[in-house]
Amino acid sequence: MLEIRNLHVHYGAVKALKGISLAVGSGQIVALIGANGAGKSTSLRAISGIADVSSGEIIFDGIDITNKPPHVIVFAGISHAPEGRMIFANLTTRENLEMGAYLRKDKGEIRKDIEYLFSIFPKLKERINQPGGKLSGGEQQMLAIGRALLARPKLLLLDEPSLGIAPILVKTIFQKIVEINKELQTTILLVEQNAHMALSIADYGYVMETGEIRLHAPASELAQNEEVKKAYLGM
Amino acid sequence: MKCHLPKLYLLLSLILCGIILIFEKNISPYYYQVIVYIGINIILASSLNIINGFAGQFSLGHAGFMAAGAYTSAVITSSMHISPGSLASYPAFLFSLICAGIIASLFGLMVGIPSLRLKGDYLAITTLGFGEIIRVIIQNLDFLGAARGFTGIAKLSDFFWVFGIISILIFLVYNLINSTYGKGFLAVRDDEIAASAVGIDVTRYKVIAFVFGAFFAGIAGGLYAHFVTYINPSQFGFLRSFEIVVMVVVGGMGNIIGVIISAAILTILPEALRSIAQYRMVIYALLLVIIMLLREGEFLGGRFNIKRLWKKSPAET
Ligand SMILES: Nc1ncnc2c1ncn2[C@@H]1O[C@H](COP(=O)(O)OP(=O)(O)OP(=O)(O)O)[C@@H](O)[C@H]1O
Ligand SMILES: [Mg+2]
């Protein structure tokens, strides 16, 4: 479904990605793990068109989407829940979700999707008319995921969905991610600090280090890998 | 309450129009002038509110768009030798206002494009400079009267033109901001990256905000020119832009009704303080400071809150 070949991204003089290649198959959950500053978020930003690619290719469903503007990429079926839950602070929960469906015209279906989303995240329903900026961190995270889902993406890019979430909620968030993957058949590329959790729900995993892919293997294998255990699982 | 706002506004303006129509002959020219100025400032502030308040692009060049519109429409009606009150004057004036809007929005387009690369202070300075450039260009064009100004403009605008345009503007803005498309502006203002991540073409929104805002600033310029009948470049300096920004900030960025009210108050205020001429600007400035302290919240604001005077703002605590 998604294939990245030899991707390079620079921020000015900083080389954030130094030729990474990875693939995400249809229906999979793929985890991208690595230390701070490894280039995980940059990879997602490059896919969704927010970061400029200096060389390499990003192919989605057989179409080259490298350096296409973000709104074109959303339209093609990729939706990005950016790091740090960038929700619209002055729009209400409902409006935030509606903005997620910005490119869709099917009003009735959008309403159904919002209802469905409330069944996944009941907390959001209680906050429906509150401005996004007034939600708690965890609620904002749910909102960011929900908003990305409302585009009805084929591929969902999640950047650290567990960031700043209470440990007890982290589990729930990951359960919801699996639920979204199974029930909506949404393919997911998941960036996580919480490598243990990410690998436990993923089909396949990539380990990044300073702008490069260090290792990649089926998630269950990665979780057993000595190097990974030491560096990312704290064992 | 929200959904009744446009109807309420329409009703109020109809009543106001009626009163003015009945008493038009009895209203002293001075008050009439103040009322028209209020209207023109409402158009200026509301149109700037689209750029500053909704799209979040801090622009300090609104007087430049106003000047472009004022001169455009003045040139058109003057070259047509329109006499006020004749039947031909109405369509001719309307035509000149539309042209004023179009020329101003072309300038808006020109400023909108750098806004794609610039943010915050840098954008403010660029737009400020741009407004001044328009003024300086006019000052050096002999056929526009250069620094001497443009005289003999027909007195075509009046209360009804001004409030007619306000109604159209408020109607458009209100419907825009309550549509999914219009909420895109608020999204761009809140977070550009998140906005593009949901599929909003951020570039297009910013440019549209400038074009739309400049269009109405141009029309306001045309209304102004045909009310005062004499314009010169110094009327469109950066102090003018600054006044309009103050109206938007005091009314609450993005607050439609708040900005209308603040435009009205800030037009009346200096007039009301005329009797104490020496201290006028001091008091004006002081009142501005107090109003800003009393205002609560930026976006949902416009509500006055006395406690704000001694309580710390949420950002500080
Ligand atoms: N906007 C930016 N401007 C300049 N450099 C940046 C920018 N964003 C990221 N970088 C740099 O690019 C590199 C990769 O950053 P990136 O955000 O992709 O890391 P990450 O793997 O997501 O890290 P984290 O786990 O901390 O989120 C880092 O060295 C970072 O300093
Ligand atoms: Mg990151």
pLDDT at B142: 85
pLDDT at B304: 43
Q: What confidence tens digit (pLDDT) does each residue in B146-166 have? A: 888 898 888 998 888 998 999
Q: 10-residue block means of pLDDT along chain A (235 residues)? A: 94 92 94 92 94 94 93 94 86 93 90 90 90 89 91 93 82 89 93 90 94 92 84 70
**What does the alpha-carbon distance between residue B190 and residue B193 come to, in Å, rounded to a whole number?**
9
Tokens linked to B195? 């906005």
Tokens linked to A20? 């990474």
Average pLDDT over residues B7-32: 76
Asked if B183 and A98 come within 8 Å (Cβ–Cβ), the reply is yes
- What's the distance, CA B272 to chain centroid? 21
**Ligand 1 pocket test: which of A7, A11, A20 has the largest number of ligand atoms within 8 Å of its C-beta?**
A11
**Ligand 1 pocket test: which of A9, A17, A40 has the largest number of ligand atoms within 8 Å of its C-beta?**
A40
Q: What percent of chain B has pLDDT over 90?
A: 36
Asked if B186 and A74 come within 8 Å (Cβ–Cβ), the reply is no
Q: What confidence tens digit (pLDDT) does each residue in B97-147 have? A: 999 999 999 999 998 887 777 777 888 888 888 889 999 999 999 888 888
Answer whether A82 contacts ligand 1 (Cβ < 6 A): no
Asked if A86 and B199 come within 8 Å (Cβ–Cβ), the reply is no
- What's the distance, CA B170 to chain centroid? 12
Number of domains in chain A: 1
pLDDT at B288: 75
**Poorest-confidence range of A193-202, B22-31, B213-222, B262-271?**
B22-31
Nearest-atom index, ligand 1, CA of A160? 27
The complex scores an ipTM of 0.85
Q: What confidence tens digit (pLDDT) does each residue in B192-214 have? A: 889 999 999 998 999 999 999 99
Answer whether A42 contacts ligand 1 (Cβ < 6 A): yes
Q: Judge contact between A87 and A79, C-beta under 8 A.
A: no
Predicted confidence (pLDDT) at residue B81 exceeds the cutoff of 70: yes
pLDDT at B295: 66
**What does the alpha-carbon distance between residue B279 and residue A153 come to, in Å, rounded to a whole number?**
62
Residue type, A32: L
Q: How confident is the model at residue B3 (pLDDT cuts 50, 70, 90)?
A: low
**A103 closest CB neighbour out of B187, B190, B199:** B199
Asked if B300 and A90 come within 8 Å (Cβ–Cβ), the reply is yes
Number of cross-chain residue pairs from A and B with Cβ atoms under 8 Å apart: 76
According to the 3-state scheme, what is the secondary structure of chain A?
CEEEEEEEEEECCEEEEEEEEEEECCCCEEEEEECCCCCHHHHHHHHCCCCCCCEEEEEECCEECCCCCHHHHHHHCEEEECCCCCCCCCCEHHHHHHHHCCCCCCHHHHHHHHHHHHHHCHHHHHCCCCEHHHCCHHHHHHHHHHHHHCCCCCEEEEECCCCCCCHHHHHHHHHHHHHHHHHCCCEEEEEECCHHHHHHHCCEEEEEECCEEEEEEEHHHHHHCHHHHHHHCCC
Predicted confidence (pLDDT) at residue B1 exceeds the cutoff of 60: no
Answer whether A38 contacts ligand 1 (Cβ < 6 A): yes
E strand or H helix that includes residue B17:
helix B5-23
Q: Judge contact between B38 and B267, C-beta under 8 A.
A: yes
Predicted confidence (pLDDT) at residue B305 exceeds the cutoff of 70: no
Residue A118 lies in domain? 2-232
Asked if B184 and A102 come within 8 Å (Cβ–Cβ), the reply is yes
- Measured in angstroms, how far is the CA atom of residue A58 from the centroid of ligand 2? 19
Strand A155-159 to A187-192 pairing:
parallel
**What does the alpha-carbon distance between residue B156 and residue B39 come to, in Å, rounded to a whole number?**
15
**Residues with Cβ–ion distance below 5 A, ligand 2:** A 41, 83
In chain A, what's the furthest Cα-to-Cα distance? 51
Nearest-atom index, ligand 1, CA of A42? 18
- Measured in angstroms, how far is the CA atom of residue A159 from the centroid of ligand 2? 7
